[in-house]
Amino acid sequence: MHIIKTLDDLCIKEPTIITIGNFDGVHLGHQRIIQKVVDKAKKENLKSIVFTFLNHPMNFFRAGTVKSLTTLDEKYLFIKNIGIDCCLSIPFDSYITNLSPAEYVEKILVNKLKAKEIVIGHDFTFGKNKSGNSCMLKEIATLYDINVEIVEPIKINRTRISSSIIRKMIENGDVDKSKEFLGRYYSLQGKVIHGMKLGRRLGFPTANIQINEDVVIPKKGVYYTKIYFKNKVYYGATNIGLNPTIGNRSLSIETYILDFDRDIYEEEIIIHFIERIRDEKKFHSLNELTSQMKKDIEYIRNKKTIYI
């Protein structure tokens, strides 16, 4: 998949089928739309394009409003895995927000992207002050002989799948629920950094990852997790919190990896959140903390064959 980060570099000659959106999380609803684009592209011999943004549109209007469910690299990977030919990922900036709906279609979708077909969600808005909607896009596109398909939202138990609902689930620690909406476990990737070196002394070394302030962090607590390290899968007990028993610490995300004994400082690991086990607690002693950690790990050992 080609990833193009500026409209200036774009030189598309063949007719295309496009979907447009922020696609944060690339959840089941997004996957349905993107899959439709891939299938139609094959059938109609068109190049498939996902048109998305480097920054969340809400953060353009008010910096720091929204944390992401995926880093850009994760977003590109998930889109690529569905089979898209090209991902146009450009800044959501004053150029984009100042185009009228008619200019947006002509300058970007027609002149730059050579669109023959466009697939969008029912709530799609575009152009200056979000003045364009899916019906308006359909009308303008007719002038250029472009077909527009509007996809209805997917629901799970009558709740519409949306990035904002998934964000709330993860912030509430409901990672098992978020899996149903995302179509995969919520995950965090990070470099293993040095901590206080207490874990090893307690008998449970924990790989602490560098925290990315731009992504959603699950609610503080202890989680049953799956760890990917160098393409191998392990199970883990991950604690997200302030380690109140030790006192005066900043937020850490740390994992005891079961059946593992290697120095992995500076290496990347990916943590998949399967289930939240309990709240993080302040224990009266380190002995009490370690006996609870033993119980957490035993719980995971008993469960780990259930989730593959």
Ligand X SMILES: Cc1cc2nc3c(=O)[nH]c(=O)nc-3n(C[C@H](O)[C@H](O)[C@H](O)COP(=O)(O)O)c2cc1C
**Residue 266 lies near ligand ADP (rule: CB under 6 A):** no
Closest separation in Å from C-beta 281 to ligand X: 4
3-class SS of residue 184: coil
Kindly write out the interface string for residues 226-245 of this chain, putting x where it contacts ligand X by CB under 6 A and - elsewhere.
Answer: -----------x-x---xxx
Q: Quick check: 251 binds ligand X (CB under 6 A)? A: no
User: Is position 190 an interface residue for ligand X (rule: CB under 6 A)?
Assistant: no
In the chain, count H helices and then E strands.
10, 16
Query: Is the CB of 77 or the CB of 196 nearer to ligand X?
Result: 196
Alpha-carbon span 175 to 32, nearest angstrom: 21
Per DSSP, the three-state class of 10 is: coil
**Could you tell me if 261 and 291 are in contact, meaning their C-beta atoms sit under 8 angstroms apart?**
no
User: Site residues for ligand X, window 24-63 (CB under 6 A)?
Assistant: none
- List the end-to-end C-alpha distance of the chain, in Å, as a whole number: 29
Distance CA 166, CA 172 (A): 10
Examine residue 225 and tell whether it contacts ligand X (CB under 6 A). Answer: no
Q: Which stretch binds ligand ADP (CB under 6 A): 25-33, 38-46, 191-199, 270-278?
A: 191-199
The whole-angstrom separation of Cα 194 and Cα 205 is 11
Residue 197 interacts with ligand ADP (CB under 6 A): yes or no: yes
Tell whether residue 186 is a contact of ligand X (CB under 6 A).
Answer: no
CA distance 243 to 246: 6
Query: Does the footprint of ligand X cover residue 174 (CB under 6 A)?
Result: no
Check binding of 230 to ligand ADP (CB under 6 A): no
Please identify which residue in 163, 206, 238, 243 interacts with ligand ADP, judged by CB under 6 A: 206
- Residue 242 is a binding residue for ligand ADP (CB under 6 A): no
Nearest of 280, 293, 254 to residue 173 by alpha carbon = 280
Residue 199 lies near ligand ADP (rule: CB under 6 A): yes
- Assess 218 for contact with ligand ADP (CB under 6 A): no
Residue 14 is which amino acid?
Answer: E
Instruction: Give the separation between CA 82 and CA 32, rounded to whole angstroms.
Output: 10
CA atoms of 133 and 102, how far apart (whole Å): 11
274 strand-pairing partners: none
The amino acid occupying position 38 is V
CB of 60 to ligand ADP, least distance (A): 37
Site for ligand X in 87-126 (CB under 6 A): none
Interstrand relation of 132-133 and 125-126 (parallel, antiparallel or unpaired)? antiparallel
Does 194 bind ligand ADP (CB under 6 A)? Our answer is yes
Binding site for ligand X (CB under 6 A): 195-199, 204, 206, 208, 222, 237, 239, 243-246, 254, 256, 280-281, 289, 293, 296
Site for ligand ADP, rule CB under 6 A: 192, 194-200, 205-208, 256-257, 260-265
